[in-house]
Every structure is written in C-alpha cells, then in structure tokens.
C-alpha cells in the first residue's frame, strides 16, 4: 500500500498529464452532448458581462468613419429597394399569369450586436448579444446587408456563438447565378472553395453565388459571394471554383438572425 | 496572490484575442497569446501546475471562443504546459540553457496538434495545412513570445 502511494506520489506529474488528456479527449468526444452545449451557454452568458462594455469602447473609436460609409450605402440601398419593388410587382404579375403556386417559409428578423470575434487560421466565430430568450437556437441563419454571415452553433440565454462563412468547417448549399449550377461552398479564410460543380455546367468569373434553399437552414436566394476563379483539371470530374464572400467578416458590427416562424409556430404557409 | 495575477493576465489575453485579433492579424494568422502566458506560467511553476493551468485555460478558451471541438485547446495546452515544465526543470535546463528551444517546441506542438484535429474530415492535406496555417501562426506566436519574455523574464537564469 505504501509502495502504491509512493508510486502515485512520484508519478503525480505524469498522472496529472494523463488525467488532463483523458478529460480533454472525453470532452472532444462529447461535443454534441446537450449538457456540454448548456455548459457553454452558461459560460458565454457570464462572459458577456465582461465582453460587452470592452467591445463597445473599441467599437466607438470607429463609429464616425463608419457613419459616413453607412450614409452613402443608405442612399445606394434606397435606389436598389425602389428597383426591387418594381421587380417584385412584375414578378407577382407574371406568377399570377402562370397561376404559379408556391410554399415559402416565413422569417422574422432579429438584430443583434457583435460583442466578440475569434479569428484564427481555421476557426472563425463571433459572439452575439442575443440568445435563447430572443428565440435564437442552434443553426439559426445569420445574415447582414451584404449576405450570409454564418449560423449559430451554440446559444446561451443572452448570447450565442456564430460559426462564420469563412470557418474551415462551414458548409452551405449554393446556386451559381445566372447559370443555375448547384454546389457546396466550403468555408476558408480568404477565398472559399465551391465544390461538386460538374465540368459540363457553365460558370464564369463574376457569377453570383446565392443559397440554393436545399438545406433546412438557409432560405433560397441569400447572397453568398462572387466567383473569383474557375479552373478545370483533367484528372477531376468537378470544377475548381474559388468564391469571394460578399460579407467582410472582420468588420461585422451588427447582424440579423432569421427566425423561422413556421418552425417556431408549427405553421406551414401555402 | 500570483495566481490572481495569472487569472487577470489570462482574462486580458482572452479579451484581446476575442476583441482585437483583427488589429494584429497578419494575413490569416494571429499569435496565440494564451499559449505565451501558459509557457510563462509553466516555466515559473513547473510541470504539474503547467499541465493543470494549460487544461483550465484551454477549457475556458474552448467554451468562449472556439467554434468546434470543445476540449481541443485544453488537450493541446495541457500537453504544452507539461512539456514546458519538463524542459525547464533543473536537469533539462542544463541541456537546453535558454527558453528559445522549449518555447518553440511548446508553441509548435500546440499549433500542430490543433491543426491535425481541425483538418480531420476536410479535404485539406496535412502537409499543406501545416505549412500554410500551423507554421506561420507558430512563427508569429514565437516572435511575440520572445518579445514578451525579453521584457518579462519568466526565470532570470533561463534567458
């Protein structure tokens, strides 16, 4: 017994290391466990109290410069809205002519401030000042005026973590306009990779990439990015396409979260 | 008292990483400030405290800022804390008189283990990920650590 105790005592450094490695591997394998998710929510909510004032101070320093840009953008958007309104009226008229029926999801927009960034070579996330109490849950789509920002991966009561579009593990089903080719966008810092697009389909530099609506998370037609390069290698079946996201992740201040009202209320609108 | 100081330094590093990383990022690469603090603590406090501090810091970092793999930072940081303590304990410090070698080993292990987990399930090749992501980030962290350690020396006889 004494030998065992002295063995434990003498090996306490290695035992500590072994225990820490074991606990870490256990946590890695339990990432999808709801208990782990709720633990993260509690920690996020606590951290929000420290994070928010600090972020506000650093944010105030950039306000004047951004105000100018926003005013200019506001004018541009007003013109765009007027054009879109006309297009919508025309679209509705043509749909009526064709007796086109559609089922669509109804979304409610919830705005939220960004109160933290995590930028790295692989993982990119932001922390939002809104959580479960505003109806936000895992996989809630996050957008801003430029397009898709990402999706919520964890939500606390008053805060949530968003996986950004340029995160290495981010995937989104997209359509390339005007050609209509579908593919899967793989997140990456800088230019994202658009995969699974067969060589036979027409894709050119400058084409717009939008959400295809095939996933349960994102509605159809959200702006994602612009095609920057298209390559074809003889040894591959698919095109090698690089896409530049419309959203500049490092400058995010405010975002919108799309709450699926059908999902929340259990109503399907026809 | 010193653990309160470490706690405050850790909070500052965490806040800087989660608020101001865009400010000092070079390309897509940012230094890991928490690993620098961990190395400092492990050099001063030894293997056991280095390991447990690395685990705790990594876990908090995972809970607050990591997107996926809760437990990954705690894994890499407890290993780094142990190795730093191992290298800087008296017998080994004669073999490696200075902190440049153990610091670089600690940073590289942290970054490379993290990279291996991150690319699992993606189409990115391990060599490409190591060269384009892990290595530049390691070098950036190492440079920053040398600047910090030349001002705040963890142990006089190790510099």
Instruction: Give the nearest chain A residue to B138 (CA atoms).
Output: A121
Taking only the tens place, the pLDDT of each residue in B102-130 is: 788 888 888 888 888 877 766 677 788 88
C-alpha A77/C-alpha A252 separation (Å) is: 18
A12-29 vs A2-10: helix axis angle to the nearest 10?
A: 70
Is there a contact between A118 and B62 if contact means CB atoms under 8 Å apart? no
Question: What is the arithmetic mean of pLDDT over A115-130?
Answer: 76
C-alpha A171/C-alpha A23 separation (Å) is: 29
Cα A195 off chain centre by = 18
Best CA proximity match to B153, nearest among B15, B39, B47: B39
What are the structural domains, with CATH classification, of chain A? 2-43 (no CATH), 171-246 (2.40.10.350)
A250 touches chain B (CB under 8 A): yes
In this predicted structure, the answer to whether residue B77 has a pLDDT above a threshold of 70 is yes
Is there a contact between B68 and A123 if contact means CB atoms under 8 Å apart? yes
A20 touches chain B (CB under 8 A): yes
In this predicted structure, the answer to whether residue A61 has a pLDDT above a threshold of 70 is no
Residue showing tokens 């959580």: A131
C-alpha B9/C-alpha B41 separation (Å) is: 11
Length of chain A, in residues: 270
- For residue A67, the surrounding DSSP H or E stretch is helix A63-98
**Under 8 Å between Cβ of A131 and A159:** yes
Q: Which DSSP category does A249 fall into?
A: G
In this predicted structure, the answer to whether residue B73 has a pLDDT above a threshold of 70 is yes
Cα B122 off chain centre by = 24
Measure the N-to-C terminal CA separation of chain A; round to a whole number of Å. 74
Q: Among the ranges A71-80, A100-109, A123-132, A148-157, which has the highest mean pLDDT value? A: A148-157
Lowest-pLDDT choice from A54-63, A253-262, B89-98 = B89-98
- Cα atoms found within 13 Å of the Cα of residue A29, Cβ hemisphere only: 6
Closest partner residue to B67 (CB to CB) among A20, A55, A167 is: A167
Question: What is the arithmetic mean of pLDDT over B85-98?
Answer: 64
Identify the pLDDT of residue A269. Answer: 36
Identify the pLDDT of residue A121. Answer: 61
Identify the pLDDT of residue A72. Answer: 78
Identify the pLDDT of residue A102. Answer: 56
Is residue B21 packed enough to be buried (19+ CB in 10 Å), middle (13-18) or exposed (0-12)? buried
Taking only the tens place, the pLDDT of each residue in A31-48 is: 777 777 777 778 777 777
Q: How confident is the model at residue B56 (pLDDT cuts 50, 70, 90)?
A: very high
Question: What is the arithmetic mean of pLDDT over B40-53?
Answer: 88
Per the structure block, which two tokens stand in for B11?
């909070």
C-alpha B141/C-alpha B39 separation (Å) is: 11
Q: How confident is the model at residue A104 (pLDDT cuts 50, 70, 90)?
A: low
Mean pLDDT of chain B, nearest integer: 81
Q: How many other C-beta atoms are found inside a 10 Å radius of the C-beta of residue A132?
A: 16
Best CA proximity match to A142, nearest among A150, A130, A134, A153: A150
Question: What is the arithmetic mean of pLDDT over A115-124?
Answer: 71
Question: What is the arithmetic mean of pLDDT over A60-85?
Answer: 78
Q: Chain B interface, mutation test: which of A9, A27, A164, most B Cβ atoms within 10 Å?
A: A27
Is there a contact between B63 and A39 if contact means CB atoms under 8 Å apart? yes
Instruction: Give the nearest chain B residue to A171 (CA atoms).
Output: B122
Q: How confident is the model at residue A125 (pLDDT cuts 50, 70, 90)?
A: confident
Sequence-distant (6+) residues with CB within 8 A of A151 are A139, A140, A141, A142, A162, A163, A170, A217, A218
Per the structure block, which two tokens stand in for B142?
């190492």
Is residue A80 packed enough to be buried (19+ CB in 10 Å), middle (13-18) or exposed (0-12)? exposed
Q: Among the ranges A115-124, B13-22, B39-48, which has the highest mean pLDDT value? A: B39-48
Instruction: Give the nearest chain A residue to B22 (CA atoms).
Output: A250
- C-alpha distances (whole Å) from B134 to each of A5, A26, A95, B64, B151 are 41, 24, 53, 22, 26
Closest partner residue to B55 (CB to CB) among A24, A124, A190 is: A24
In this predicted structure, the answer to whether residue B51 has a pLDDT above a threshold of 60 is yes
In this predicted structure, the answer to whether residue A156 has a pLDDT above a threshold of 70 is yes
Question: What is the arithmetic mean of pLDDT over B62-80?
Answer: 81
Identify the pLDDT of residue B54. Answer: 92
Identify the pLDDT of residue A190. Answer: 74
Residues of A with CB below 8 A from B18's CB? 51, 116-118, 127
Residue showing tokens 């706690």: B7
Instruction: Give the nearest chain A residue to B118 (CA atoms).
Output: A122
In this predicted structure, the answer to whether residue A270 has a pLDDT above a threshold of 70 is no
Best CA proximity match to A147, nearest among A260, A261, A255: A255
Question: What is the arithmetic mean of pLDDT over A109-128?
Answer: 78
Taking only the tens place, the pLDDT of each residue in A203-253 is: 888 888 888 888 778 888 888 888 888 887 777 778 888 898 888 887 787
Q: How confident is the model at residue A90 (pLDDT cuts 50, 70, 90)?
A: confident
In this predicted structure, the answer to whether residue A268 has a pLDDT above a threshold of 50 is no
- C-alpha distances (whole Å) from B104 to each of A244, B55, B88, B107 are 34, 19, 13, 5
Q: Domain residue spans in chain B?
A: 2-13+28-153
Torsion over CA: A161, A165, A167, A168 (sign) = positive
Cite the beta strand spans of chain A per DSSP E: 107-119, 124-128, 141-144, 147-155, 160-164, 171-177, 181-186, 192-195, 208-211, 223-231, 240-245, 254-260
H-type alpha helices, B25-99: 33-45, 47-65, 72-88, 90-95
Identify the pLDDT of residue A267. Answer: 37
Q: How confident is the model at residue B159 (pLDDT cuts 50, 70, 90)?
A: very low
Q: How confident is the model at residue B52 (pLDDT cuts 50, 70, 90)?
A: very high
Lowest-pLDDT choice from A34-38, A179-183, B9-13 = A34-38
Q: Chain A interface, mutation test: which of B10, B29, B64, most A Cβ atoms within 10 Å?
A: B64
Per the structure block, which two tokens stand in for A53?
């004032």
For residue B93, give how far its alpha carbon lies from the nearest alpha carbon of chain A (Å). Answer: 18
């Amino acid at each position: 017994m004494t030998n065992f105790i002295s063995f434990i005592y003498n090996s306490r450094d290695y035992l500590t290391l072994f225990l820490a490695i074991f606990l870490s591997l256990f946590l890695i394998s339990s990432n999808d466990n709801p208990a782990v998710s709720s633990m993260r929510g509690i920690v996020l909510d606590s951290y929000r109290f420290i994070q928010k004032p600090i972020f506000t101070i650093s944010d105030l320093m950039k306000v004047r410069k951004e105000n100018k840009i926003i005013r200019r953008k506001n004018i541009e958007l007003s013109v765009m809205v007027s054009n879109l309104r006309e297009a919508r009226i025309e679209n509705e008229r043509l749909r009526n002519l064709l007796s086109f029926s559609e089922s669509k999801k109804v979304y409610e927009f919830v705005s939220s401030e960004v109160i933290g960034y995590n930028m790295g070579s692989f993982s990119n996330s932001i922390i939002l000042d809104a959580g479960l109490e505003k109806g936000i849950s895992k996989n809630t789509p996050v957008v801003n005026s430029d397009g898709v920002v990402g999706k919520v991966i964890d939500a606390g009561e008053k805060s949530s973590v968003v996986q950004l579009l340029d995160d290495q593990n981010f995937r989104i089903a997209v359509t390339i306009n005007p050609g209509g080719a579908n593919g899967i966008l793989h997140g990456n810092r800088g230019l994202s990779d658009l995969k699974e697009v067969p060589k036979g389909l027409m894709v050119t530099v400058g084409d717009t990439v939008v959400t295809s609506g095939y996933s349960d998370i994102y509605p159809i037609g959200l702006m994602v990015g612009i095609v920057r390069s298209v390559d074809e290698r003889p040894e591959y079946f698919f095109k090698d396409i690089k896409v530049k996201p419309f959203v500049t992740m490092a400058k995010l201040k405010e975002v919108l979260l799309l709450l699926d009202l059908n999902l929340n209320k259990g109503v399907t609108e026809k | 008292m010193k653990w309160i100081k470490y706690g405050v330094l850790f909070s500052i590093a965490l806040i800087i990483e989660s608020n101001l990383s865009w400010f000092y990022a070079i390309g897509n690469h940012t230094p890991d400030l928490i690993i620098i603090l961990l190395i400092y603590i492990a050099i001063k406090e030894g293997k056991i405290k280095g390991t447990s501090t690395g685990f705790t810091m990594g876990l908090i970092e995972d809970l607050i800022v990591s997107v996926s793999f809760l437990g990954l930072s705690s894994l890499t940081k407890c290993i780094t804390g142990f190795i730093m303590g191992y290298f800087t304990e008296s017998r080994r410090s004669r073999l490696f008189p200075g902190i440049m070698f153990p610091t670089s080993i600690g940073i590289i292990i942290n970054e490379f283990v993290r990279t291996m987990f991150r690319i699992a399930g993606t189409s990115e090749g391990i060599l490409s990920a190591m060269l384009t992501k892990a290595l530049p980030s390691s070098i950036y962290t190492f440079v920053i650590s040398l600047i910090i350690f030349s001002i705040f020396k963890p142990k006089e006889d190790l510099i």
